[in-house]
């Protein structure tokens, strides 16, 4: 069973765990999300250099079984034996005995076959239940699938939002064809200025007004309308967490989708994958 397949919405954690003064509100935000049924949580050893995993550990304490837990290993820790140790460190910070989905954060210098071998060993030991990749473009996916253990890749996490629709040209269709869910990161545009530009778009605001929703909710609803895609916005403000959950109930009409397509056209040729 693919751990991501039944999710359309998850909770991101980038920039959490960086400042102890914010830890309590971050934990509460994740717990509110869990209470609202957003049980997929995405983190990484990189975020806050382990701090985000600690925040997640605090948020899921006593309710681990409710959660689908995703974490990521740094490329420089993704060697055959290094990955065993990196995973153990993540498990300790998360306060759990298993990670549901463990991703290679991006492609680095370690041969893919070595990382996959390391992932297989972790899976055999029950430390991770599934593994996958992040920031892999189509050629990387094709190569990965040919490597031993590559056929078990359970997700590819990439940047995808209304303003960055490059993956719709080839990567997303390819992932669908191979039954590999795509996790859309930065679904609301991480960068504040880029986000403001997105939310100020007249077409997005027009669709939002039709639904009595916010531009952010429509940006998420657009992603929910894509087959095989799960969006993982990060939200610390409780109103944002609630709004993101409520966005799951918005059903965009063909007219809405046409309005969005005209304002944010999908590319008609291959473009390189957006990477943060
Ligand atoms: P994002 O989720 O698109 O945007 C986060 C920003 O949007 C925060 O400032 C948040 O504010 C705000 N926000 C959230 N919900 C909102 C709403 N309903 N209305 C208005 N604003 C809202 O960007 P992201 O954090 O870059 O991406 C999401 C997650 O993807 C990350 O946290 C991380 O888990 C993952 N990610 C993975 C990679 C990778 O290489 N694999 C790269 C980047 C991100 P508040 O926090 O103040 O509520």
| 47 counts as catalytic | yes
Pocket of ligand 1 (CB under 6 A): 12-14, 42, 105, 134-135, 157, 185-190, 214, 216, 232-237, 240, 243-244, 276
Q: Is the pLDDT of residue 234 over 90?
A: yes
* Most informative mutation of 59, 105, 186 for ligand 1 (most atoms within 8 A of CB): 186
Please give the distance, rounded to the nearest whole angstrom, from the Cα atom of residue 120 to the centre of ligand 1. 30
The dotted CATH code for 10-190+226-237 is 3.20.20.100
What's the pLDDT band for 1 if we cut at 50, 70, 90? confident
Report the C-alpha dihedral over residues 200, 206, 208, 209, rounded to 10 degrees: 120
Instruction: Please tell me which residue in 15, 47, 131, 160 is annotated as part of the active site.
Output: 47
pLDDT in tens, 11-54: 999 999 999 999 999 999 999 999 999 999 999 999 999 999 99
- Tell me the average pLDDT across 263-276: 94
Which atom of ligand 1 approaches the CA of 215 most closely? 19
pLDDT in tens, 53-112: 999 999 999 999 999 999 999 999 999 999 999 999 999 999 999 999 999 999 999 999
pLDDT in tens, 155-198: 999 999 999 999 999 999 999 999 999 999 999 999 999 999 99
At residue 23, the pLDDT reads 97
Please give the distance, rounded to the nearest whole angstrom, from the Cα atom of residue 76 to the centre of ligand 1. 24
* Most informative mutation of 185, 201, 224 for ligand 1 (most atoms within 8 A of CB): 185
At residue 114, the pLDDT reads 97
At residue 102, the pLDDT reads 98
How does 32-42 read in b/e, with b if 16+ C-beta sit within 10 Å?
Answer: bbbebebbbbb
Which atom of ligand 1 approaches the CA of 161 most closely? 3
Please give the distance, rounded to the nearest whole angstrom, from the Cα atom of residue 12 to the centre of ligand 1. 6
Please give the distance, rounded to the nearest whole angstrom, from the Cα atom of residue 99 to the centre of ligand 1. 21
């Amino acid at each position: 069973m693919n751990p991501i397949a039944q999710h359309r919405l998850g909770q991101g954690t980038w920039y959490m765990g960086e400042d102890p003064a914010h830890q309590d509100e971050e934990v509460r935000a994740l717990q509110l999300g869990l209470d609202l049924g957003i049980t997929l949580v995405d983190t990484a050893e990189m975020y806050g250099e382990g701090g985000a995993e600690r925040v997640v550990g605090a948020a899921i304490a006593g309710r681990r079984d409710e959660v689908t837990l995703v974490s990521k290993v740094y490329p420089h820790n993704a060697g055959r034996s290094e990955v065993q140790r990196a995973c153990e460190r993540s498990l300790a910070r998360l306060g759990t005995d298993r990670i549901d989905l463990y991703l290679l954060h991006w492609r680095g210098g370690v041969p893919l076959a070595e990382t996959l071998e390391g992932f297989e060993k972790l899976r055999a030991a029950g430390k991770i239940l599934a593994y996958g990749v992040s920031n892999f473009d189509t050629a990387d996916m094709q190569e990965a699938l040919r490597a031993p253990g590559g056929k078990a890749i359970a997700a590819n996490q990439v940047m995808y939002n209304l303003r960055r629709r490059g993956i719709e040209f080839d990567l997303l269709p390819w992932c669908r064809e191979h039954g590999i869910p795509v996790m859309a990161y930065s679904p609301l545009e991480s960068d504040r200025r880029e986000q403001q530009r997105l939310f100020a778009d007249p077409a997005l605001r027009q669709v939002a007004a039709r639904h009595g929703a916010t531009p952010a909710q429509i940006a998420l609803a657009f992603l929910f309308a894509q087959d095989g895609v799960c969006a993982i916005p990060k939200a610390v403000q409780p109103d944002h967490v609630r709004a993101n959950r409520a966005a799951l109930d918005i059903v965009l009409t063909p007219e809405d989708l046409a309005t969005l397509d005209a304002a944010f056209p999908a590319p008609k040729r291959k473009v390189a994958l957006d990477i943060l």
